Structure 1
């Protein structure tokens, strides 16, 4: 309970909380990739911040996506309303982006087991944003709080509470409200329960059903002086279409120096818009038809038609918001299920060029496999597993002044080698801890 690794069977049944599946032994992980993940995180933060602040570029980049994805469309409308796209390169935000999840601290440093202080680091970033707001805006004579925007029916509540406690230890009180609850009281300068909101921290608002009857409230929050995590432009910056465009060196160089762009792009998987008619894209689409096992087809819209999904993952980086991951086994992402194997040529051949604009075609990445022992439902299971590493960092900016840009922790999840689905709190992956192994030893002993 104290570590936040239990989950309610239903939001109303808090008396029967169960421990999520967890590993009994740490997962071997190559130390060079772990260090690379930490080293590149600040550059990824700068990249996402610069994209977030270039509203005009986001509007052009996501024009097609907005036509098929409700959330993208609505967020673009909010950006047009709140920010002037003609001056989209100016800095609009008091504080931006910090990661949303954490791995509880280990007590002390253990050789090979890197310590993660993500939760404390995130609370520190929230405190910085809170301070930036307080120094800029005159007080209203009301208590100032951080607002956690959550689901009313939340099974994963305890995962949030640890961060609330860490923020409280920084001297900051928090409130929890759903978008539906806020829609009845939200004002341009948000006041909730007679308290002034300094930071709006979204733990919901990533699926269309989260916004039923609440889009006006979301726009009012964006218009308010409170720091948003994420802001509407920051959420748009995490769209798959943005990832695909950044694989173009000309687009990436808009936001990073030559040296930074080279370092960051060295971690990218190849991604294509299958509706594009360029020679390179046509060759990739043809290759995907002939050898679909080497590719993944990602729908961008959250209302896309579902299909069966299969395992993917390997040694390459993906990013969503400010969480940057060494992708090893993800196949269900924020936009829904992904297409693999024989489903890929079927989709490619059955859709028109306009319909194919819904998708991103990405080269498939293959995970190394390591032994794992897990505790699940009171039983111990030994299995071969693949793992996903996430590096958490914090980024806080006040206008052009970057107050904080650093790595604060990490998270490792693992799942069975043959498991198709992902996610700890849906029962497919397990909470894990990396055991760092020298690169030459690690790669000599893992299997693909």
Structure 2
């Protein structure tokens, strides 16, 4: 991969000046987060961390990731409808992992009562890294599929303009033109709008289940605003609000604050810490309703790491553990958690494996071979941190949207991408966890 942006910089001072221009452009474009100090209010905001330059991505791998997305949409949807497969695959996890067990209990309860929902909506994101093969060529390796609260579609829609600006400042206008247009928020909103339309009640709303302290609100607002432009109204409520003001009528239609809800879009509810007893009750109420849930509980279960491991079954577990203990740098141990920042590496992983080796608790972890990408230079811009070039690696996400009515697939598409980049020294974690930063692929 030929282009190295660092060679365009004259000195430190040039880097700092360019960084200032980039930050101002990010603020102007709405690449924003609420601050850690004020996560519940938009009175004070900062730019979301991002790379100064777009990162080089082989266009063949980008095309490959896009080409398989519709198949992954179909796979997730098929798994969500296969109750026997879900039960069989998650049986050992449910014994040891209370969170997955509680989700599964709701799933069983809804199946027993009969699923009231007739329209199904999936907004997912399939994540990849670029493995560096022994011959030096790059290959695409899938990490996971996120089936609940797949974020940064809104902010990723706003970052291309920032990198085009940076390259234009450097008089690289031809290169600036190569940065791909990308608008996942529009595509994600398209899926929600289609589900809303099929629900068939003109006055019904979209309910976005939000966290109390949500720094990433502008990402969500981008989708809300796209819906409003289509005259579809969105209300933001917490699980607690649903518990206090939500109800079902005799047809299991969902009402919150007296307003009918057509679509429930979860941007909360993917981690154990996000549930109190009251919140679990609210989640059950939502699942029992005929509103379109994004995702419904079965689709959330289809996105668990255990299911993904089963779908990509390789060598048996004991063999893998032996290998990992022999060469810990080549493996990573992942718990059944979303949200980044939970993985175990190196010495920590070895200790956990020794402890888990013969216990049932082992079933609540996934052992994965580590992907070894080729590092490259970029500058990560974060509020309060100096601009400097560091060695980085990237992770590519492709957003997928599907809508099914009964057994009929009404929509199936890919709607954009997300590139996140982090410094080599940070093994784990996403943008929200404060490790990775937003980026754009520069196809080569």
Q: Is the partner of 2:119 in helix, strand or coil?
A: coil
Shift in Å at residue 348 of structure 1? 2.3
Cα distance in structure 1, aligned partners of 2:195 and 2:84: 25
Match of 2:388 in 1: 381
> What secondary structure, in the 3-state scheme, does the structure 2 residue paired with 1:81 have?
helix
Q: Is the 8 A contact 2:268 2:274 kept in 1?
A: yes
1:215 Cα deviation after fit: 1.4
Deviation for aligned residue 1:420: 3.1
How far the C-alpha of 1:22 sits from its partner, in A, is 1.6
CA distance in 1, matches of 2:289, 2:31: 31
1:15 Cα offset (Å): 2.6
Q: Deviations over 1:84-133 (max 9, x none)?
A: 49x99xx9641221143311154699643222121111111111000110
Corresponding pairs, count: 368
Distance of 2:350 and 2:376 partners within structure 1: 31
Give how far 1:206 is off.
Answer: 1.0
Structure 2 runs not aligned, ≥5 long: 1-26, 125-149, 165-173
State how far apart, in whole Å, the 1-side matches of 2:46 and 2:254 are.
36
Per-residue Cα deviation, 1:38-81 (whole angstroms, up to 9, x for no partner): 00000100000000011121112111211222321112111111
CA contact (8 A) 2:31 2:47 kept: no
Q: Is the 8 A contact 2:69 2:414 kept in 1?
A: yes
Q: Is the CA contact 2:333–2:349 (under 8 Å) kept in the aligned structure 1?
A: yes
Call closer, same or farther: CA 1:383–1:160 in 2, change over 3 Å: same
CA distance in 2, matches of 1:4, 1:166: 16
CA contact (8 A) 1:123 1:170 kept: no
Q: Secondary structure at the match of 2:43?
A: helix
Q: Which residue of 1 aligns with 2:322?
A: 286
- CA separation in 2, counterparts of 1:143 and 1:291? 59
Residue 158 of structure 1 and its aligned partner are, at CA, apart by 1.6
| 1:219 aligned to which of 268, 280, 284 | 284
Q: CA deviation at 1:20?
A: 2.1
Q: Is the 8 A contact 1:296 1:340 kept in 2?
A: yes
State the distance in 1 between where 2:414 and 2:349 align: 37
Q: 1:149 aligns with which of 188, 193, 209?
A: 209
Q: Is the 8 A contact 2:205 2:234 kept in 1?
A: yes
Does 1:59 find its partner at 2:65?
Answer: no
- 1:399 maps to what in 2? 406
Q: Which residue of 1 aligns with 2:361?
A: 355
Aligned partner of 2:259 in structure 1 is 195
Which runs of 5 or more residues in structure 1 are unaligned?
249-269, 273-279, 303-332, 438-448
The structure with more helix, counted as a fraction of residues: 2
Contact 2:342–2:428 (CA under 8 A) maintained in structure 1: no
Alignment partner of 1:231 is 2:296: yes
1:176 aligns with 2:183: no
Asked if the contact 1:3–1:104 (Cα under 8 Å) also holds between the matched residues in 2, the reply is no
Question: Do 1:180 and 1:211's aligned partners in 2 also have CA atoms closer than 8 Å?
Answer: no
SS in 1 for 2:104: helix
Whether contact under 8 Å (2:341, 2:429) holds in the other structure is no
Cα deviation, residue 184, structure 1: 0.7
1:37 aligns with 2:103: no
Alignment of 1:72 onto 2:100 = yes
Paired residue secondary structure (1:172): coil
Give the conservation status (yes or no) of the 8 Å contact 2:34–2:41.
Answer: no
Using the alignment, how far apart are the partners of 2:121 and 2:378 within structure 1? 37
Q: Displacement, 1:190?
A: 1.6
Asked if structure 2 preserves the Cα contact closer than 8 Å seen for 1:20 and 1:425, the reply is no
Residue 121 of structure 1 corresponds to 187
Q: Taking structure 1 as reference, are residues 12 and 52 closer, same or farther at Cα in structure 2, changes over 3 Å only?
A: closer
Per-residue deviation, residues 131-190 of structure 1 (Å, max 9, x unmatched): 1101xxxx5xx8311000001222222221111001111220000000011101221222
Taking a change above 3 Å as real, the CA distance of residues 281 and 375 of structure 1, as seen in their structure-2 partners, is closer
Does the aligned pair in 2 maintain the 1:190–1:196 contact within 8 Å? yes
- CA distance in 1: counterparts of 2:362 and 2:33, whole angstroms: 40
Distance 1:214 1:427, change over 3 A: closer
Once the two structures are overlaid, the 10-residue window that deviates more, 239-248 or 424-433, is 424-433
1:96 aligns with 2:103: no
Shift in Å, 1:427: 2.5
What is the CA-CA distance between 1:11 and the residue it aligns to?
2.4
Distance in 1, matches of 2:192 and 2:389, equals: 40
Alignment RMSD: 2.4
C-alpha separation between the residues in 1 aligned to 2:41 and 2:265? 25
CA distance in structure 2 between the partners assigned to 1:62 and 1:218 by the alignment: 20
The 1:427/1:338 distance shift into structure 2, 3 A limit, reads closer
What residue number does 2:46 align with?
18
Paired with 1:63 and 1:133, the residues of 2 have a C-alpha distance of 33
Question: How far apart in 1 are the matches of 2:191 and 2:41?
Answer: 33
Please give the alpha-carbon distance, in whole angstroms, between the structure 1 residues aligned to 2:325 and 2:52: 42
Q: 1:220 & 1:12 partners in 2: Cα distance?
A: 26
